Amino acid sequence: MIYKFDRKYIHHRRILLFIALHWIVIFLIAGACFFFAAAKNYRDTKIKRAVMQEKYPDGYKTVTYKVDALEKSTLQNYVTQKTRLDKQEEYNKKAVFMNIDYRNIPYVTGRFSIKTPLQNFTYDEAVTELIGYMKSNDVMQAISKMMNNKGYDYGASNIRELVTFAKDGQNLVVTVMTPDAEASEELFSSTLLYLSSTVVTKVSEARGKFVLKKLQSYSYTASTLSVRDTQEAYVNRANSFSTQVANILDQIESNPKQYYKKWVDSDVALGEPVSVKEKIDLPVVSKRKAVKKGIRVGAAGLAAAMILFAIMFWCSNKIWSIYDITDSFSIPGLGEWSADRKKKVHKHGRFLWKADSTLKRNSILSDEELKFQLESFLPDKTGELLVISDAFSRDSAFAVSFSEQFSDIASAIKVLSYDDLLKGDCRDILEKAEAIVLMEPAGKTSFSRLEKGLLRIFHFHEKIAGAVVVC
C-alpha cells in the first residue's frame, strides 16, 4: 500500500465553505472598501469643485487650439474638398436642371431671322454677335430677374443651363427647357422679350440697324439622354468628392479635428491659433454617485477577499474533515469524534462538519460508535492500542479522558506524537501494537505531515484500524 497525498481530491465545495466560514471578515473588508471609496469620492469631488470655482469664477475658461504645419496642410486639403462637396451637393439638390425628368422634357423652340439688309456686317456675323451677347452674365441676370418677378426661383446659373442659343445658317434658334411646360413657356417668353427689346437694340446701335423677325415657335416633349448623362455626371462628382472627404477625414487625428470644429466658427486664417471660451464642467457633488462608487469598490473588495481566503484555504494544507483523509489517502476513515460534548468544538471544524452533514457526507461519532469501530480490531481486548496523534500528549487532560473512556477495549492505550514518530526509532512500539489509530486534530495536522507519518509506518499498514478527526 502506497500513501500519497493527491491535492485534486480536495472538493471545491470545501473552498466555498471555508470562504463562507469567514463571512464576517469578508464583509468587513467589503464594507471598509465601500465606506472608504464612497467617502473619498465625495470628499475629492467637493475639493475639485471648490478649486475649479475659485479658478474660474465666471464658469468659463479660455482654451487655445493649435495645429502644426503638417496638420494644417491636411486640414487645408480637407476644407478644399469639403467646400467642393458642399457646393456640388447644394447644386444637385436645388438646381432646376437636376429636377428635370430626362424622359419627359417640355421644350419650347423659336427660330428667328434678320430681314433688313446689313451694311457693316453680314447676316452670319449678326447672328453670332446676338448669341454671344445673349450668353453674357448681364443678360442671364436680367432674364433671371424677370422669372423671379413671375414667381420662379431661377438664378442666372439656372438660366444658363435651361436656355440654349444656336445658329442655323443665317437663322437664330432659341430653345428652353424646364421641369414643367408652363415654366418653359414663361422662360421662352421672357427670353424672347429681352432679346427683341434690349439685345437687338444694343447690337443695332453698335453695328447698324436691323430687324429680327420670328419665323416660328413651337412646344414639344422629348426624351434626351444627354440630359440624363449630365445629371448622372453631377451625382457621380458629388460621390467622388464625398469619398475624398471621408478618406482625408480618416487621416486626421483628434487634435486637428478639435481645432477644425473651433476654427469653423472663428474668423482667423486656417492654421492660426484659435482661442475660444468654453464653459467648464463642474463636478457634481452627489451622495448617490459616491454610493455607486463605493458599491463598485466594495464589490471589488468582496471579490478580492473571497479570492484571498480561497488562496489561504488552498495554501493552508490542513485537514478539517475525515473526508479530507479518505479522499486523499488509502486508509479507512472511522469518523469524527469529540471527547467533551459540552465544550464547543473548533469553529472551523464545527462549520465544515455541519456543512458536510447537510451534504449528507458526514456526522460526528458518538463514544459508543467509536468504541464499536475500535473493538473490531481488538476482538479479545488484550492487545495494545497505539494512538498516533498531535491532538494530545501522554499527560494531557484529553489523553486521560480518552484512556478512561476506552480503557476496556484494550489491555493498554499508548500515545505516540508525530514528532516522536518522525524523529525517533519507534519500531518496537509499532511491533507491540495490536491496532493503530490515527487521531488528527481538525485544522492542525497538515496533509504533508500525515503523509510523512504514514510512510514511517508503511511496513505496519495492516495494523492501521483507520483515522479519526478530533474536534
Contacts of residues 420-429 at CB distance under 8 Å and 24 or more positions apart, as own/partner, are 421/388, 421/453, 421/456, 421/457, 422/452, 422/453, 422/456, 426/456, 429/386
Give the number of other Cβ atoms within 10 Å of residue 7's Cβ.
Answer: 9
In this predicted structure, what is the pLDDT of residue 270? 86
In this predicted structure, what is the pLDDT of residue 10? 55
**Which residues have CB under 8 Å from 311's CB, separation 6+?**
none
In DSSP terms, 62 is beta-bridged to 277
CA–CA separation, 273 and 67 (whole Å): 7
The three cell numbers locating residue 110: 423659336
The segments of the chain whose pLDDT lies below 50 read: 8, 341-362, 394-395
In contact, 129 and 203? CB cutoff 8 Å: yes
CA–CA separation, 401 and 395 (whole Å): 10
One DSSP character per residue, 360-425 reads TS--EEPHHHHHHHHHTT-TTS-SEEEEEESS--TTSHHHHHHHHHHGGGSSEEEEE-HHHHHHS-
Q: With helix as H, strand as E and coil as C, how does 294-346 read?
A: HHHHHHHHHHHHHHHHHHHHHHHCECCCHHHHHCCCCCCEEEEECCCCCCCCC
In contact, 172 and 112? CB cutoff 8 Å: yes
- If we measure between CA atoms, which residue out of 126, 118, 208 comes closest to residue 171? 126
In contact, 318 and 446? CB cutoff 8 Å: yes
**Which residues have CB under 8 Å from 64's CB, separation 6+?**
273, 274, 275
Give the number of other Cβ atoms within 10 Å of residue 467's Cβ.
Answer: 27
Give phi and psi for 64, each to the nearest 5.
-110, 130
**Whether this model's pTM surpasses 0.85:** no
The three cell numbers locating residue 364: 460526528
The three cell numbers locating residue 37: 471609496
Q: Where in the chain is the domain with CATH 3.30.70.100?
A: 104-222
Tracing cell 498531535 back to the chain, one arrives at 390
Q: Where in the chain is the domain with CATH 3.40.50?
A: 318-470
318-470 maps to which CATH number? 3.40.50
- If we measure between CA atoms, which residue out of 174, 176, 167 comes closest to residue 127? 167
In this predicted structure, what is the pLDDT of residue 364? 60
In this predicted structure, what is the pLDDT of residue 342? 45
**Which residues have CB under 8 Å from 204's CB, separation 6+?**
210
Helices (H) and strands (E) in the chain, counts: 18, 12
The three cell numbers locating residue 309: 481566503
In this predicted structure, what is the pLDDT of residue 393? 53
In this predicted structure, what is the pLDDT of residue 100? 94
The answer as to CATH 3.30.70.100 being correct for domain 104-222 is yes
